[in-house]
Structure 1
Amino acid sequence: MQAAPSLAETDFLLSLAKGDSRIAGVVGWVDLGDPGAAGLLCERADNPALRGIRPMLQDIADPDWLETAVNPRALAALVRLGLRFDALVTARHLPMLARFAARRDDLPLVIDHAAKPQPDRGEDWERGMAALAAIPHVHCKLSGLLTELSPEELRDPLPALRPILARLLDWFGPERLIWGSDWPVVTLAASYDEWRDLTQALLADLSPSERAAIMGGNAARFYGLAA
């Protein structure tokens, strides 16, 4: 997963994937507003490790950027190349994202970090996430939640995380939730192992098959990876 809006980083990750079988796939970045974006996507899709694109929507001032600035040929190329769309968003983007997803049922979409729920945008987040969950090809990542908690909540994260997970399960079900480590950013709040163990505790009431789907099976299916 790229961490910067940079073709150089995407190319670097794709080069690593060529020589390391542990890298099952890469979600990269291309400026979808660039007039040449379709060509840039096609060039990089020659590497089969490229599985999706993640525009850094949370860092773009215009919350309607997907509707106002994206090159339609770039979106057509994403579909033609079989790529996925990772949406790095917060609550303010959710109305726009729901409109976009409803129009693009040919483009599999996943909401990164569950759109980073924040107490001061709780109603906006719930309303927006419920609308997105009603669109069948939209998935949601169970990731990036620890770094959104307060220092007090981090001392005992489970009580703060349980109601969030309950809503996500109600909306997306275990079939459309995808666990993510958010490493290395997660280390600002906990280790990789601590986040994995917290997730297992959160999912303890689900069946083994449902837990397996969330922890890996859904990601393999969504990104078209070998299970």
Structure 2
Amino acid sequence: MVRAEVIDTHVHLWDLSRPEGIYWIKEDDKVLRRSYTPADFEKLAKENGVGGVVVVQAGQSLPDNQWNLDVTAKNRSLFRGVVGNLSEVIGSDEFRPLFDKLCEDPRYVGYRLSGRLREDLDEAFYRDLKLTAERGRTVDFLVGKYDLEDVKEIATAVPELKIIIDHFGNVVLDGEPLDPAWVAEFRKVAKCPNVRCKVSALYGRFQSPPAPKVLSAYREILDLAWDCFGEDRLIYGSDWPVTRRTGDYASVLDLTRSYFRDKGDGVLAKVMGSNAAGFYGVPLLGEDSK
């Protein structure tokens, strides 16, 4: 039996009392309109056997990059890495000094690109991505402002850059077959060997809560991701607490495990933990923490 430590690579934290705020949470959102702290997830992790976490910044506020590092620093054994968000400065003169400062903390494993500073993927944009690759940091893409074709272009232009697409490329599930045109784009980006796919926000792919809790509802996208990325380039993440809108933490974790357990204990161990450790450069259980 292979010991499969769970590393959840997509957990958000925020404090609504901070002046930066979280702009995308609506005033009437009864689930998310509150603060979510490390202590909130520590309890959930213990209840569900989650040994490690990579925190992903919930918004694009530049000060939140350091805040996420600071607020998780007291429990480095659980909160092993932080993915910030540098959407507002990449490709500008502000990028390098901020990135240099953040990288002084080895738990700053990379950043997310969700918003888009400029339309063109220009020389300055690629300059900063190449610096990111040189430092061994990663880039999460929330597909939207950058589409799958953009990600393929970037991955091809900077093959040494470690890239992951969040939430299955932000696919939307509605119970109908996947759009063939979208599937074709998904398959194209998967051919880039430096791109990974995050098996995250599974319940959240259904826009209307509650999400189905049966594996059959997700088999098409899981089968597609498996076929395209295989056992070495799929990485688990929950999207907590956003996932609370559509379902509970324990059942989505169990559902994901059940799919990959059928592929064998070795595959389960990779997708739920060791692939994350290799991609983000965070320690596995028993290894020295950074």
TM-score (norm 2): 0.71
Indicate yes or no: 2:120 matched with 1:49.
no
Answer 1 or 2: which has greater helix percent.
1
Q: 1:81-100 alignment to 2 at 5 Å?
A: 81-90=135-144, 93-100=147-154
Higher RCO (CA < 8 A, seq sep 6+) = 2
Percent identical pairs in the alignment equals: 29
Corresponding residue pairs, total: 223
Asked if the contact 1:28–1:53 (Cα under 8 Å) also holds between the matched residues in 2, the reply is yes
1:180-220: CA deviation from partner (whole Å, max 9, x where unpaired): 01111111111111110111222232110101100111000
Give the corresponding residue for 1:137. 194
Is 1:11 equivalent to 2:69 in the alignment?
A: no
Question: Shift in Å at residue 70 of structure 1?
Answer: 5.3
Aligned pair partner of 1:210 in 260, 264, 267 = 267
Cα separation, partners in 2 of 1:82 and 1:10, compared to 1, 3 Å? same
Alignment pair present for 1:167 and 2:224: yes
For normalisation by structure 1, the TM-score amounts to: 0.89
Q: 1:91 to 1:200 in 2, by over 3 A?
A: farther
In structure 2, C-alpha distance between the alignment counterparts of 1:110 and 1:223, rounded to whole Å: 10
Residue in structure 1 matched with residue 164 of structure 2 by the alignment: 110
Moved >6 Å (runs of 4+): none
Paired with 1:73 and 1:151, the residues of 2 have a C-alpha distance of 40
Question: Could you give the per-residue CA deviations for residues 42-93 of structure 1, whole angstroms, max 9, x where no partner exists?
Answer: 0110111100110114xx497xx46148534322321222110111104970
Letter in structure 1 aligned against 2:65 = T
Q: Which residue of 2 aligns with 1:71?
A: 125
Q: Which runs of 5+ in 1 are unaligned?
A: none
Tell me the CA shift for residue 174 of structure 1: 1.2
Superposition RMSD in Å: 2.3
Higher strand share: 2
Could you say if the C-alpha distance between residues 37 and 152 of structure 1 is closer, same or farther in structure 2, counting changes exceeding 3 Å?
closer
Once the 2 structures are TM-superposed, how far is the Cα of residue 107 of structure 1 from its aligned partner? 0.5
Aligned to 1:27: 83
